[in-house]
Structure 1
Amino acid sequence: MKAKWISSILASVLLLTMVNPVSAQEEFELKDELIYDTLVDRYFNKKIDNDYEVNALDPAAFNGGDFDGMASEILFVKEMGFTALSIGPVFSTATYDGKRVLDYTEFERHFGTEEEFNELVAEIHDQDMKVIVDIPTQQVSENHVWAAQNPEWFIKNEDGSLALDTANPEVQEALISTFTDFSDTYQVDGFRLQNSDQLDPAFISGFSEAIKDVRDSYILSDQEMEETPGLDAVVLPGVEETLRDAYKNFDQDLTGVSALMGESEGKLIQVDSIFGSRFTADIVDVNGFPPTRWTLLLTQLLTMPGIPVIQYGSESAMNGTELPESHQILDMAVDKELVDHITDLTSLRNSSEALRTGELEVLHDEDGWLVYKRSNDEETWVIAINDSSSTKNINLSAEAIGDGKELRGLFESDIIRQEDNGDYRVTQDREIAEVFHVTEETKLNSAYIATLAIMYVVFMLFLWIVWRKGKQRKADAAKQRANEKTV
């Protein structure tokens, strides 16, 4: 029943998409994207000839993931509805996460060859997704190929790694030259600058301008920071802490989420950082139930303004308080409940411009119950998230919803119609998230009902005639038998 209901809603939204071509997938801009964030080493191991000293049992070691493995299993991400894949750093490195770069001009041998990288990019593009590569500059290896010849380019970190001084004009020139060549050679769609809050603003601006001269590319931040010239999107300040605190357990204050949504348009929104702890760790810490908590949070993340970035393993409630524990191998054979929930939400978001970039109006925010509206000239959605421990009720006014409408629930299959007083009465059980599509109220078709009534009368008359004829035949047969006995 649920799948049929979702399909009918998607069909109606797709009709709007045909009328409004800006919503079509091929026209997606950064503000429309859904980004899946992963690491090559933790995705999927297909080839064994590049498994140099690989140890899948050691979370701090290379585990064997490679370009070929990612290309062969790319449908796992595609079928969940993501439009862009962030694959982390791909350069020669001393560590599995790619941060300790040795050489920006070489691919990491554990990951694969230049040819295999090209095949991966081509496969991602064949699936109508974009590919984004990370550029680490602030924790590179002490054995980086530039370090011996140009020690003045680096600052030593406390952990023994090196940070490139991006305020140094020579460093700027070297990085820009390296990555404009990379962009010109490979068809990647964007770069994410790691530790972007530590980079010189002039470098970011110059780097972005040079890359975009080669190819129209996304230049993204990986940090919560203020907007900076050259960065197409930054991580919204406070987003991880606010969302994690709000949804790690029930009966939490959601007013911070309401305020956050007012600032999130055009920003990267996420709950896990690829280099931090997992949201599941917060849930477990307060004895919460991860599937329920994740369901509520994913509904929030995928229906609010902003550009969602979802870390790999979120679909399986991956746990971990710190690296490398939070970088487990991706498990594709997971329980499908969260996968299906993500897929349902991304399908709606990808089909609905209103859910991606529509106006936001908070209709209710009290006692752990958040209700808000996303709308444009073509369509309206109402999202209700009851993060409390009790059933909630609210009357939504005709001013907020419109007259003669009905709210069709995506997940619970509720249909809410306007009452005699003009309001729409919404009742929601505890720890439930619902997405309502606002449509014109379905009217009873009087002609159809009249036709059914006539058909019913005709059918009953037909049965009566058959019954009468049958009764007459029996009477005639009985009379004939009586006559035969008399003779």
Structure 2
Amino acid sequence: MTDLFGKMTMDWFEREGIKVKFKKWISATAASLLLATSLVSATPVAHADEVSTRTIAEESIYDLLVDRFFNGSGTNDFDTNTQDPTKFAGGDFAGLQDKLKFIGEMGYTIVSIGSVFATEKYDGSMPTSYSTIERHFGTSEEFQSVVEAYKAKNMSIMVDFPLNNVSPNHEWAKDPAKKDWITSNNNGQVQWDLANKDVQQALIKSATDFVSTYNIGGVRLTNIADADTTFINEMIAALKDTQKSLYVISNEESDANFDASFSLATAEIYRNLFKNVDMDSSKLMEPFTGEKPTQIMVDSLETHRFTFDSATENMFPPTRLKMAMGALFMLPGIPVVQYGSEIAMNGETKPETHQIYNFKTDTELIDYIKNVQSLRNQSATLRKGDFEIITNENGLLVFTRTSDEEKWVIMVNNTSKTQRVDLTTAQLGEGKMLNGILHEEKVRINDKDVYPVILDREMVEIYQVRNDEGLNVPYMVALGLVWVIFIGFVAIIIKRGKARRQEQDDVLK
């Protein structure tokens, strides 16, 4: 009946000459309302006091480059060239301010914006200062405004602080009194003597001064390969003394006391797992064996894009990204997603992988991320609940997230065929049902005393385990409300169409 009504409505739209994406609208509206009603009874919305007590294990990170995101102000567009990918393109702090709602609606809680120090390259890889803000990005006042604006929406700004590999024109490198701070010049960059106590103290002071000035939420230390662990720990301690709630992480492997671990192998595991179907998933748990929460991702701004990897496998990147994002946001790690992943940005190497963000692309994947992250942000159980794998075999992954308050079952069918998994009362409990959030499927116990969970290929479903109380009244109300809204919309269009035709008839008379 629904399909027939939809077809009749589309035929009517075509006759009236109105170009409306009916199916997409009705699906998106239904998903949003059903998501809300599914959570209303068991999952409270995260309030500010809850956000303030979160740990980094509950966060999700959106990783971007200021210059490549959005150009919000023309006042700093000097020496820019959007046609040359090696040059500054015009993205700035004003652009981050303009797109605050866009990022916030995707549900990210930390926005990592790279290095913001004065630099000779758009990606911050040739810094000339540890104190001056890059003028292409805007003023220090504009940067502070961005930090405060995101904080007001319960998001924090994280900034890269490079310990090494700076421009030969760095203010320290040009100071004759600091010539013994330099150990080498490789690849056109200067390397500091990170064993030098004066260098160490200068770096610590620069980093702590920056944090205390701008009150950012996190620092990512980069280019740390030549730094002694003792020195890094001293810097981490100094940063946290400056601001107790500050997160300090790195994008390199280290034994230092970072808030989260990082491993290049982790990205390789997930990239290889989700770039195609029926892939070996035996290494899925390796990132979670350490004591610290780990950063989980499918690529980084320093590697080729996940889209490139999946396309190389002759797969459809948006579908592959849905699989990857659906799993990453539900697993017990810290999801780190590169800007542009939600629009399937492509590229093999820099600067091709650092494209200017295109805000005019299809929003299907963006909407998908919004829905999944909405669940994660509203449910403490999905962020930090107990994690148990039920099935993990060549792309078929079923696991639970459980707390005293609630239980969820996540099924990831990253295989080439429809899969069925029978769950038992021992796993779910007596008198339960599974309420599928993303695809609106209900699963009840059958006559064989199992819950038959069936999912099509290349799909993720998130099931909320609820008491089976028969008819789901909130579900029916939400579904009815969707159609009421739509029918009202159709009635308005019909009425306007009649009025317009009457006006035309009157003119002809």
TM over 0.5: yes
Asked if 1:233 corresponds to 2:291, the answer is no
Asked if 1:112 corresponds to 2:141, the answer is no
Structure 1 counterpart of 2:103: 77
- Could you tell me which runs of 5 or more consecutive residues in structure 1 were left unpaired when the two chains were aligned: 446-487
What is the CA–CA distance in structure 2 between the aligned matches of 1:196 and 1:438, rounded to whole Å? 45
Residue correspondence of structure 1 range 269-288 to structure 2 within 5 A: 269-288=296-315
Instruction: Return the TM-score normalized by structure 2.
Output: 0.83
Residue among 372, 378, 395 paired with 1:345: 372
- Could you tell me which runs of 5 or more consecutive residues in structure 2 were left unpaired when the two chains were aligned: 1-29, 473-509
Deviation at 1:22, TM superposition (A): 10
The number of aligned residues is: 440
| Residue identity matched to 1:179 | A
Structure 2 counterpart of 1:429: 456
Instruction: Return the TM-score normalized by structure 1.
Output: 0.86
- Paired residue secondary structure (1:166): coil
1:240 to 1:145, Cα distance in 2 relative to 1, 3 A: same
Deviation at 1:263, TM superposition (A): 5.0
8 Å CA contact 1:408–1:436 kept in 2: the answer is yes
* 1:213-254 Cα distance to aligned partner (Å, 9 max, x none): 11121111112x25422x111224521101110111111112
* 1:105-128 Cα distance to aligned partner (Å, 9 max, x none): 111111111111111112111222
| Residue identity matched to 2:262 | V
What is the CA–CA distance in structure 2 between the aligned matches of 1:213 and 1:133, rounded to whole Å? 18
Residue among 164, 169, 179 paired with 2:197: 169
Residue among 244, 250, 273 paired with 1:221: 250
8 Å CA contact 2:163–2:203 kept in 1: the answer is no
Asked if 1:211 corresponds to 2:234, the answer is no
8 Å CA contact 1:32–1:357 kept in 2: the answer is yes
Deviation at 1:262, TM superposition (A): 5.0
What is the CA–CA distance in structure 2 between the aligned matches of 1:264 and 1:212, rounded to whole Å? 20
| Residue identity matched to 1:12 | S
Residue among 41, 65, 90 paired with 1:12: 41
Structure 2 counterpart of 1:178: 206
Deviation at 1:431, TM superposition (A): 1.0
4+ residue segments displaced more than 4 Å:
261-265
| Residue identity matched to 1:328 | Q
What is the CA–CA distance in structure 1 between the aligned matches of 2:285 and 2:263, rounded to whole Å? 14
1:438 to 1:264, Cα distance in 2 relative to 1, 3 A: farther
1:199 to 1:46, Cα distance in 2 relative to 1, 3 A: same
What is the CA–CA distance in structure 2 between the aligned matches of 1:206 and 1:259, rounded to whole Å? 29
Residue correspondence of structure 1 range 49-448 to structure 2 within 5 A: 49-148=75-174, 149=176, 150-216=178-244, 217-223=246-252, 225-229=253-257, 231-236=258-263, 238-261=265-288, 263=290, 266-443=293-470
Deviation at 1:334, TM superposition (A): 2.3
Structure 1 counterpart of 2:501: none
What is the CA–CA distance in structure 1 between the aligned matches of 2:471 and 2:141, rounded to whole Å? 62
| Residue identity matched to 1:221 | S
8 Å CA contact 1:261–1:304 kept in 2: the answer is no
Deviation at 1:415, TM superposition (A): 0.6
What is the CA–CA distance in structure 1 between the aligned matches of 2:210 and 2:192, rounded to whole Å? 19
Deviation at 1:443, TM superposition (A): 3.2
8 Å CA contact 1:42–1:65 kept in 2: the answer is yes
Structure 2 counterpart of 1:451: none
- Paired residue secondary structure (1:134): strand
What is the CA–CA distance in structure 2 between the aligned matches of 1:105 and 1:261, rounded to whole Å? 37
8 Å CA contact 2:229–2:255 kept in 1: the answer is no
Structure 2 counterpart of 1:462: none
8 Å CA contact 2:164–2:223 kept in 1: the answer is yes
- Paired residue secondary structure (2:114): coil
When the two chains are superposed, the root-mean-square deviation of aligned CA atoms in Å is 1.9
| Residue identity matched to 1:8 | T
What is the CA–CA distance in structure 1 between the aligned matches of 2:74 and 2:471, rounded to whole Å? 64
| Residue identity matched to 2:31 | K
Deviation at 1:94, TM superposition (A): 0.8
What is the CA–CA distance in structure 1 between the aligned matches of 2:49 and 2:434, rounded to whole Å? 23
What is the CA–CA distance in structure 2 between the aligned matches of 1:181 and 1:127, rounded to whole Å? 25
- Paired residue secondary structure (2:336): strand
8 Å CA contact 2:288–2:294 kept in 1: the answer is no
What is the CA–CA distance in structure 2 between the aligned matches of 1:295 and 1:143, rounded to whole Å? 43
| Residue identity matched to 2:468 | E
